[in-house]
Structure 1
Amino acid sequence: MTTARDLSILAAAPDATPVPEQGDLSLALAGAELIDLVALRAVTLDDDRIVPGAPPETGDPLLREAASLLVREEPGETVRDWLWRRGRHLAARYRTALEAEGLLTPARTRRNPFRRARTAPADPPPRHRAAGETAAGPVLAGLLSATGVADAHTTSYAGLTDEQSTVLAGVHGAVTELAGERQRRASEQAAFDNIWRGE
């Protein structure tokens, strides 16, 4: 199980509060993939630039796809650029893949049992294993805090490698940037609505 899959399962848990924004989760998943690629020695980081290496030996199709999309031309791609490029709609892709594998099942709302609101872990063991990984290490905890599921103020980052710290910092920065963009759009929409109402 990859870090991104663990993250998807934990973010989909019924008790995950607040429910993470899909854009935030997508950025965190792209960061999780990059951390796994570093662990597999498929990439190294030169400061904040990604240096591709040999293709990773992994049975995970989404992680293989991520490796195939690495920019190999000089001067390479920054962590920030990777997060935005790879992260586009990535949460939905992981959700679809995990549902197809039976690791996530659609959860139904109480108000409308026919409406799919969010997914939930299909089987307790994968979620419990992922939860154990979170308790054991700071990487998943850091990624969850970026999505808002875990409290950033209580998350311990002790034991992170320099590469993991760089990627997590990039994820948190990208999520903050995305929140600012959401706020800007909401303000513009509110101003537009006020014009139409004559306020």
Structure 2
Amino acid sequence: MPVMHAFDPPERFVVGTVGEPGARTFFLQAREGARVVSVALEKQQVTVLAERLDELLDEVMKSAPAVVPAMAPYELDDNGPLEQPIEEEFRAGTMTLAWDPDEDKVVLEVFPISEAEIVAEVDETGQLVDEDAVAAIELEEPEPDEVLLVRIAPRNARAFVKRAEAVLGAGRPNCPFCGNPIDPEGHLCVRANGFKRRDPV
């Protein structure tokens, strides 16, 4: 049986970062009393999680507008730092989202990344493996050692999405010419034939 880090509901559930823009580590963090669980994940995973969670809430809102708020309640704004010390439980791999109509809650499960998933990401040439190959590997997945399970009310889910979007937007600005992130010292812009561009003032 996997170790279950269950929060139903957490007192606090947020995404946050450690480090400077361009070298940030992203964390999902749930807290209940003195118990804190921090799970590392990639920026792209945060982006997808926020988008899918927002889509799920919008879909439920169509049939239950009294249950799901259209926007995050102002009083649930959370701009505070992550809880310290940050001790990584595991690195996130697969995540699942669901709606529990009996309790009117969003259910999020986060599973650790497995060796199979790491191998499946790229082949020996560094190219992404196709989705069918990844799916075939996932069918042989052993049971995970631990799972983060979070159940939150729709209003808290909206607040989570709002903070996640703010955290994502606080990274490096994108170059208006090539779209790549701009480091504080500038970057080599492919659209400018290698000339170094800085963040426009």
TM-score, with structure 1 as normaliser: 0.31
| Higher helix proportion (structure 1 or 2) | 1
| Higher strand proportion (structure 1 or 2) | 2
Mark the structure with the bigger radius of gyration. 2
TM-score, with structure 2 as normaliser: 0.31
